Chains A and B, each alone.
Chain A
Amino acid sequence: MIKPEIASRQPLWLLAELTYKCPLQCPYCSNPLDFAGAGAELTTQEWIDVFTQAREMGAAQLGFSGGEPLVRQDLTELIAAARDLGYYTNLITSGLGLNAERMADFRQAGLDHIQISFQASDEEVNNMLAGSAKAFEQKLKMAREVKAQGYPMVLNFVTHRHNIDRIDRIIELCIELEADYVELATCQYYGWAFENRAALLPTRAQLEKAEAITQEYRQRLQAAGNPLKLIFVTPDYYEERPKKCMNGWGEIFLTVTPDGTALPCHSARMLPIEFPNVKTMSLEEIWQTSPGFNYFRGDAWMPEPCRSCDEKEQDLGGCRCQAFMLTGDMHATDPVCSKSPEHHRILAARQEAELAEEREMTYRNERNSRIFCRG
């Protein structure tokens, strides 16, 4: 990630969620539960206008995300426009809807990097989680093609209680595919993942074992002179202090959703805050003066125990979305913090993870989303 010391409050990272459409149905998707109720997608020209404005404000990294960004038929055009503006362009994809020809077109247009997400290291679990039978085979094929075409490749494995015990096989697969970076990212419990938390949160023992195995592989890779970087992301449910979410609200990160809503992080749409839209406000105004982007800047909003805490600068009170989901109050101290009066909610989730019950998962699809829209 971009180092925080660079920040003089520039939106260095622009995440363009081009569409909520997706061929997969991952039960840990970070998209909002009620995505099916979102407005019309921005047009090609509207997106290019967003890219132009953000670049002038200092944005250097552009992520094409979604949903599945490949669904957008104008993706090549958007890549070309972004690259011309000087962005480092990242395509964050499931690999479904990709083929060698389209990948070569993207390369020609100036795409810098492709990140492919995997659900697991073996076909059965992968497809079960993705809700698609052909997904795994296609992902492998596309990962090989990414390397063949000379792109840097980041593989992203979202880990959870159903696949984390096979982390050695996940790493082996990444070595075989010659990935440059591997993100072994345990689920972050937002959006659909929060809905399915009981079915996804690993136990502490599972997590510790997986981290130890990852560490062993790091040493082995280093000894072999293999530059593959393994990035292990732990779920904050097993921490005693919260994360400094997004490096601070409206500090370096800007998400624009398919319908043009601008957010300080990709989850913030769930909060009871009115966020501005790029169709009706300039990005400069959105970033500098809109109430939504200023809501949690600084520390004047903090209640106790954060307000008088000598660690408040380190974590800024943690994640606003997590506070909202777990306590109903978006101003509250993130319950991950052991100083939070609501920390017992995290302890209860850990306790629940120890129970070996099989739980049904709610898959992320249009039909289920309609239920949350009515909700």
Chain B
Amino acid sequence: MSAVAIQLEQVPRLNPMFRLQWEKAQDCWVLLYPEGMVKLNASAGAILTRVKGEASIAQLIEQLQAEYPEAEDLAEDVLGFFQHAQALNWILYD
């Protein structure tokens, strides 16, 4: 996949190939897909639970910053996550 730069105004949604779910047994959010499961760390979980095809990346950053005011470099982390998530085919943009 060619690395396309991610734009702040883009509106991400979860690729329907994946299902986001809280797994009690793993004590974390996971992505389920055909015959597989990815455990998400806390920040990936916090981001992906807000990815609904409604808010833009800029709006997601705002929401997260409001919720975690102490977090530094949050915008950079979120952009880094979307870069990573796109390479893994988790995210689609309309």
Interface residue count on the B side (C-beta < 8 Å): 19
Interface mask (A155-197 → B, CB under 8 Å = 1, otherwise 0): 0000000000000000000000000110000000000000000
In this assembly, does B69 line the interface, its C-beta being within 8 Å of a C-beta of chain A?
no
Residues of A within 8 A of B26 (CB): 6, 58, 60
Within 8 A of B (CB), among A73-124: 86, 88, 90, 112-113, 115
Given contacts A225-B1, A225-B2, contact A115 B37 (CB under 8 A): no
Could you jot down 25 A-B contacts, CB within 8 Å?
A1-B35, A2-B36, A2-B37, A6-B39, A10-B25, A13-B35, A58-B26, A60-B25, A60-B30, A60-B32, A60-B37, A61-B32, A88-B34, A88-B37, A90-B35, A112-B32, A115-B34, A152-B17, A152-B33, A152-B34, A154-B34, A181-B34, A222-B1, A225-B2, A227-B89
Residues of B within 8 A of A10 (CB): 25
- A12 is an interface residue with CB less than 8 A from chain B: yes
Q: Is B19 an interface residue when CB atoms closer than 8 A count as contact?
A: yes
* The residue from B1, B2, B25, B35 contacting A58, defined by CB atoms under 8 A apart: B25
Chain A residues with CB under 8 A of B37: 2-3, 6, 12, 60-61, 88
Interface presence of B62 (CB below 8 A):
no
Cα-based distance from A58 to B28 in the complex (angstroms): 12
A63 is an interface residue with CB less than 8 A from chain B: yes
User: B residues near A, CB below 8 A?
Assistant: 1-2, 16-17, 19, 21, 23, 25-26, 30, 32-39, 89
Which chain B residue shows the least CB distance to A59? B25
Q: Is A150 an interface residue (CB 8 A)?
A: yes
Nearest CB of chain B from residue A128's CB, rounded to whole Å = 28
CB pair A86 B35 closer than 8 Å: no
Contact residues on A (Cβ < 8 Å of other chain), bracket: 20 to 34
Residue of B with least CB distance to A88? B32
A154 CB contact (under 8 Å) in B19, B32, B35? B35
How far, in whole Å, are A154 and B36 apart by their CA atoms in the complex? 12
Closest chain A residue, CB of each to CB of B30: A60
Contact (Cβ within 8 A) B1 A88:
no
Q: Which of B23, B33, B35 has the most CB of A within 10 A?
A: B35
Residue of A nearest to B21 (CB): A86
Q: How far is the CB of A216 from chain B (nearest CB, A)?
A: 17
| CB-CB nearest 3 A-B residue pairs | A58-B25, A88-B32, A113-B34
Shortest C-beta distance, B3 to chain A (Å), equals: 12
Closest to A183 in B: B35
CB-based contact A63/B2 at 8 Å: no
A112 CA to B19 CA in the complex, in Å?
Answer: 9
Q: How far is the CA of A347 from the CA of B33 in the complex (A)?
A: 38
B contact residues around A60 at 8 Å (CB): 23, 25-26, 30, 32, 37
